[in-house]
């Protein structure tokens, strides 16, 4: 049994309880094992059962644990050593490789469709203009990391580029049409629906991070709009802020 360090004085401190449990899950090889019963666990951490339950609810929503009646709290996953900064425009492939992991792609799917009002706005084109829609699942060391849906005008890429694309869409488009020099990105919390849970093989309700971004080419116009659903138990994002 781990020697748990109390994280509070018995008052509700769910965030610190969450961090200590998450640190333990990440450091130990306990996937598939059970955490201590709630009453015992709260005493070990030095927090109230209310605080512990709030921490466990957050861990369950993020896909780290599963709480089952009459069974207990089962550890499902551990935090991966994959972290990305949002200040620099790097490809996900570069982020994976810089973490010492092997990038991969599954479930590639191409189609063409007329741009709706949202896609037309993001790509600065007319509604109804034909765009390429490219969907895929990205992996790191064969772990499903994210699912992305990419909308790109057909003059930049089509399904005919499949054999030349490689792992990095950013690198391919930059090489073919000039460097992608800027990206406008928004990060949203998102609860996995049935489609995202199927693509990433995670439970419905699992908390993921939706990165919505528009990438701009050398002429300053938008080249590529994407929605990427990242597993929060596999990758984290940070921003370096200066005064």
Q: How many domains does the chain have?
A: 2
**Shared-domain flag, residues 91 and 209:** yes
- Banded pLDDT at 78 (limits 50, 70, 90): low
pLDDT in tens, 195-236: 999 999 888 888 899 999 999 998 889 999 999 999 887 888
CA 189, distance to chain mean position in Å, is 10
Most confident among 111-120, 140-149, 170-179 (mean pLDDT): 111-120
Same domain, 176 and 224: yes
Q: What is the CATH number of the domain that holds 116?
A: 3.40.1410.10
Q: Which domain holds residue 62?
A: 14-75
Q: What is the pLDDT of residue 24?
A: 84
Q: Tell me the pLDDT band of 120, cut-offs 50, 70 and 90.
A: very high
Please answer whether residues 140 and 231 qualify as being in contact, where contact means their C-beta atoms are separated by less than 8 angstroms.
no
Confidence bin at 152 (pLDDT 50/70/90): very high
How would you label 106-137 residue by residue, b for 16+ Cβ within 10 Å and e otherwise?
A: eeeebeeeebeeebbebbebeeeeebbebebb
**Does residue 8 sit within a domain?**
no
DSSP 84: E
Burial 183-196 (b: 16+ CB within 10 A, else e): beeeeeebebeeeb
pLDDT at 166: 87
**Is 9 within the bounds of a domain?**
no
Higher confidence at residue 170 or residue 3? Answer: 170
CB 234 within 8 A of CB 82: yes
As a whole number of angstroms, the distance between CA 103 and CA 6 comes to 39
Look at residue 3 and tell me if it is in a domain: no
The verdict on residue 171 lying in a domain is: yes
Q: Do 126 and 31 fall into the same domain?
A: no
Give kind and range of the element (H or E) at residue 163: helix 162-165
Is 147's pLDDT higher than 90? yes
One domain, residues 90 and 70: no
Look at residue 19 and tell me whether its pLDDT is greater than 50: yes
> Mean pLDDT of all residues in the chain?
87
Cβ atoms within 10 Å, residue 1: 6
Look up the CATH number of the domain holding residue 24: 1.10.10.10
Domain-located, residue 18: yes
Whether residue 45 is contained in a domain is answered as: yes
Q: Answer whether residue 144 shows pLDDT above 60.
A: yes
């Amino acid at each position: 049994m781990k020697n748990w360090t109390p994280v509070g004085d018995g008052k509700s401190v769910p965030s610190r309880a969450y961090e200590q449990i998450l640190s333990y899950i990440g450091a130990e090889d306990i996937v598939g094992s059970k955490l201590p019963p709630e009453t015992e666990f709260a005493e070990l951490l030095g927090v109230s059962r209310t605080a512990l339950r709030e921490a466990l609810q957050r861990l369950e929503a993020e896909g780290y644990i599963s709480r089952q009646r009459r069974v207990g709290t089962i550890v499902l996953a551990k935090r991966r050593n994959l972290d990305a900064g949002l200040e620099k425009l790097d490809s996900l492939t570069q982020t994976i490789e810089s973490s010492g992991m092997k990038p991969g792609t599954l479930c590639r799917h191409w189609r063409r469709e007329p741009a709706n009002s949202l896609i037309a706005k993001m790509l600065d084109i007319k509604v109804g203009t034909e765009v390429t829609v490219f969907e895929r699942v990205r992996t790191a060391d064969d772990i499903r990391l994210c699912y992305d849906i990419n909308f790109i005008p057909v003059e930049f890429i089509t399904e005919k580029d499949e054999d030349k694309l490689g792992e990095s869409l950013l690198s391919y488009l930059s090489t073919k049409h000039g460097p992608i020099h800027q990206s406008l990105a928004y990060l949203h919390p998102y609860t996995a629906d049935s489609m995202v849970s199927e693509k990433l093989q995670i439970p419905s309700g699992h908390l993921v991070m939706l990165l919505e971004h528009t990438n701009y080419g050398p002429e300053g116009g938008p080249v590529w709009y994407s929605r990427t659903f990242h597993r929060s138990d596999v990758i984290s994002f940070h921003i370096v802020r200066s005064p």
